[in-house]
Amino acid sequence: MLFKDVLVDEELKRQLVALADENRISHAQLFLGRNGSHSFALALAFAQYICCTDRHDGDSCGQCHSCKMFEKLQYPDLHLIFPNCTFAEVDKDPDSEKLAGHFREFVFENHFHLDYNEWVKHLKSERKQVVINIRDTANILMQNSIRSYENGYKIYILWMADKIQLAAANKLLKTLEEPESQSLFILIAESSDQMLPTILSRTQLVKIPPLSEAMIRQQLVEREGVTEQEAADLAAVSDGSYVRALNLLHDSAEMHHLLTNYNIIMKSIAAYLQNPKDLARINYLQVQDVLAELGQAGREMQKRFLNYMLRMFRNSLLLNTGNNSLVRATSEEWKVLDEFRMLFTLKDSSQLLQECSDALYHLERNANVNILFTDFYFKLLKAFSQR
């Protein structure tokens, strides 16, 4: 992976190049970027640049033995660690080494734009906990205790390091603090909130900004051949993630389905606020169908629904307070947002956003999903009614 092929801020690339050129490379770095960002590609480009034997003009040569091995993700001193679980061919004691071939395949299929939810789908493991486990960190300790094959850096890229189990994280602490000579750890994460403070204190933070709407729109038009309007719609709701934009492009049915379910719930709430006794218009049976469907869906789909509700609520609040320029929505979503805009006020905003966040919190902790979503609906009714 060359720096020129990575979709991130150019100034950030120059800073990483300078660190390598001036031999000021911190042995442990935390690349913090949103889901679907090009942070994994950036980490690979940085690692490749460090190991390249003929780097020039601020980039790897792409032609030396080292670069050719990196191109195939088969450089012997490059170790990829990522969330994993049991799989069709690994039904016991999974770790990153056993799933390395599948992960490389996933990376190439997605052109280095990695998304955790897509990886979970790839593993067909939406009902399992997909994590970096203690076997992964045991492998890191073993590999770090032996000499490098190429007599250079041993590089460990931990993708989704915020998914590391507590026991595994604790096992890694001493190595992060006192690694063997010429060891480089690049931890890639979406959020530092779920990581141990002791790990954060041992790493140098590299913040990866989200892509601009203009860049995503341009990439969609040039690479995917979509129309300017479609590209603008997708870029507006991608939240700075090119992966999310691609997913929405290739699975527009899911986005439409999420909007349909949101519309059903909001119509029911609006009818209740107008007349709590008009059961026909409230149409709770249709709401129950939506909630039952969610109960049968996989965990990642359930989280996507709650995050969608959270985004639409934020958009509605922005719209109703006159901050239209900050609204991130497709043309189809704008129509729904406009229909319910008067239901939202600043008074109930914090409660609505909190209910979404609480539901996500309990979902992550294996709450009964049928009870959770039914409770979520009635808490929304209560929040909207308290005005």
pLDDT at site 281: 93
CATH of the domain at 341: 1.20.272
pLDDT at site 126: 61
pLDDT digits (tens, 9 = 90+) for 197-237: 999 999 999 999 888 888 888 888 988 888 888 888 888 87
Residues 26, 117 share a domain: yes
Query: Is 42 a member of any domain?
Result: yes
Domain end position, chosen among 151, 185, 209? 209
Rounded-to-integer distance, Cα 108 and Cα 106, Å: 6
Domain end position, chosen among 156, 182, 209? 209
pLDDT at site 239: 75
pLDDT at site 102: 93
* Helix/strand/coil for 89: coil
| Among 272, 269, 350, CA closest to 313 | 350
Query: Is 246 a member of any domain?
Result: no
Yes or no: say if 283 and 270 are a contact pair by the CB < 8 Å rule. Answer: no
pTM over 0.75: no
Yes or no: say if 337 and 329 are a contact pair by the CB < 8 Å rule. Answer: yes
Backbone angles phi, psi at 349, to 5 degrees: -60, -45
Residues 205, 335 share a domain: no
- Residue 111 CB partners (closer than 8 Å, separation 6+): none
What distance, in Å, lies between the first and last C-alpha atoms of the chain? 55
Residues 194, 306 share a domain: no
- Residue 108 CB partners (closer than 8 Å, separation 6+): none
pLDDT at site 232: 85
pLDDT at site 336: 92
Q: What residues in the chain have per-residue pLDDT under 50?
A: none
Backbone angles phi, psi at 292, to 5 degrees: -65, -40
Residues 159, 38 share a domain: yes
pLDDT at site 253: 76
Residues 264, 189 share a domain: no
Residues 54, 163 share a domain: yes
Query: Is 221 a member of any domain?
Result: no
Enter the tokens of residue 195.
């990581």
Q: How many domains does the chain have?
A: 2
* Residue 29: strand pairing partners: 186, 204
| Among 207, 174, 189, CA closest to 12 | 207
Residues 287, 197 share a domain: no
| Among 73, 7, 4, CA closest to 34 | 7
Residue 186: domain span: 3-209
